[in-house]
Structure 1
Amino acid sequence: MRIISGEYGGRKLKTISGLNTRPTSDKVKESLFHMIGPYFEEGHVLDLYSGSGALGIEAVSRGMDLAYLVDNNYQSVKTINENIEITKQPQKFIVWKEKDGIALERLRQAEETFDLVFLDPPYGKIDLEKTLSKLIGYKLLKEQSIIVCEIDKEDTITLQDDSLELIKDKIYGTTRVIVFEKVTR
């Protein structure tokens, strides 16, 4: 696995061994960034189920100013920190070992907002509709924020809130990538 493009492009990232993780393949990652960018002029990104940190690090490499990389697994956080060292710019990253709900509450209290959010949890283990509702309810999204959800190709996301507009829904092998944009209605 590597950083595909941008300031850190070509650098190899470490992956997590021994866990039931499913890192986003370079092919899917490249397609995903072509859907949403591919480059950014600034902004904050939240990678909530960060795993190795690859998506958040890629976003910073492509121009985001700051990434929150959140995971509740010790080995994941260790790997995220090792991957941040590869960038030689640790000041652009905030790493938390937290459960998703606690992290979202901390971000709400800090009045943080995001331009880009990655939600790539272990397949079938997290209710992303609930997570999306918290992102909206806690006012963590800026207008025109992009939210990228990576789920199993057989799964879907049904939203009751019309403040998120479906932009893309694409299947890559066993992975479904759903992209929403925060809109005002």
Structure 2
Amino acid sequence: MRVIAGECKGRMLKPVPGHSTRPTTDKVRESIFNMVGPFFEGGFALDLYGGSGALGIEALSRGIEKVIFVDRDAKAISVIKENLAQFGYNEKSEVYRNDSYRALKALKKRELSFSLILLDPPYHKQKLERDIETILDFGLLNRDGQLVAEHGVEVELPEEIGTLEKVKYESYSGTTAVSIYRFSNE
């Protein structure tokens, strides 16, 4: 697993040991950022199911100003912190061990909003629609922001969730799919 592009291009990421997380493959990560970027001029991102931190670190490498990482697994949190330290991104990040709903609630209390939200929960525990509805209810996505949901191909996310519309969908290797949402123009 490596950083695909930007200032840390080609550098290796440490994976989370064991089988508790499923890392996003380099191919899928590259495709995601080609669809939403590929580069950024600042902005804040949220990596809600951080895992190894690969998605958020890729965003930092491509120019996002700051990323908040959340995961409920202690091993994942440790790996995220190690990866951030090795890339020199400690000052550009915050890392929290929490479940998704509590994390979103805490971010709402801080009155934060994001230009990029990355959702890559464990495939067998997905509650993406509920997460996206909560993100909308809490006003966590900027009006010009993008929300990326990585999920199993068997999960069919709706074309519209609240005021968000699915603007892109891709599937990979018969197992992984990516849906990208933006606010509708209406």
RMSD: 1.2
| Letter matched to residue 85 of structure 2 | E
Query: Relative to structure 1, is the Cα distance of residues 149 and 26 closer, same or farther in structure 2, using a 3 angstrom cutoff?
Result: same
* 2:113 is aligned with 1:113: yes
Does 1:150 pair with 2:150? yes
Aligned partner of 2:26 in structure 1 is: 26
Contact 2:66 2:92 in 1 (8 A): yes
Give the SS at the match of 1:155: coil
State the partner residue of 1:16. 16
% of aligned pairs identical? 41
AA aligned opposite 1:157: L
Structural mapping, 1:30-179, within 5 Å: 30-158=30-158, 161-173=161-173, 174-179=175-180
Per-residue deviation, 1:159 = 6.4
- Given residue 158 of structure 1, which amino acid in structure 2 is its aligned partner? P
Shift of 1:124: 2.6
* Whole-Å separation in 1 of the counterparts to 2:112 and 2:179: 23
Moved more, 55-64 or 18-27: 18-27
Give me the TM-score of the superposition, normalised by structure 2. Answer: 0.96
CA distance in structure 2 between the aligned counterparts of 1:17 and 1:27, rounded to whole angstroms? 21
Taking the aligned partners of 1:161 and 1:29, their CA distance within structure 2 comes to: 23
2: distance between equivalents of 1:159 and 1:69? Answer: 27
Unaligned runs of 5+ in 2: none
Deviation at 1:134, TM superposition (A): 0.5
Cα displacement (A) at 1:89: 2.7
Kindly provide the CA deviation profile for residues 84-110 of structure 1, in whole angstroms up to 9, marking residues without a partner as x.
011113100100000101100000000
Contact persistence 1:163–1:183 (CA under 8 A)? yes
Q: Please give the alpha-carbon distance, in whole angstroms, between the structure 1 residues aligned to 2:161 and 2:180.
A: 15
CA distance in 2, matches of 1:63, 1:20: 29
Residue pair 1:152, 1:175 contacting (<8 A) in 2 also: yes
Residues 116 and 146 in structure 2, CA contact (< 8 A), matched pair in contact too: yes
Q: Tell me, what secondary structure is at the counterpart of 1:41? A: coil
Segments of 4+ moved more than 3 angstroms: 159-162
The alignment of Structure 1 onto Structure 2 pairs a total of residues equal to: 185
Query: 1:129·1:159 contact (CA, 8 Å) conserved in 2?
Result: no
Moved more, 14-23 or 152-161: 152-161
Q: Tell me how far apart the structure 2 counterparts of residues 112 and 158 of structure 1 sit (CA, whole Å).
A: 26
Measure, in 2, the Cα distance between the counterparts of 1:78 and 1:19: 15
* Alignment-mate amino acid for residue 30 of structure 1: E
* Maintained 8 Å contact 1:47/1:55: yes
Equivalent residue, structure 1, for 2:184:
183
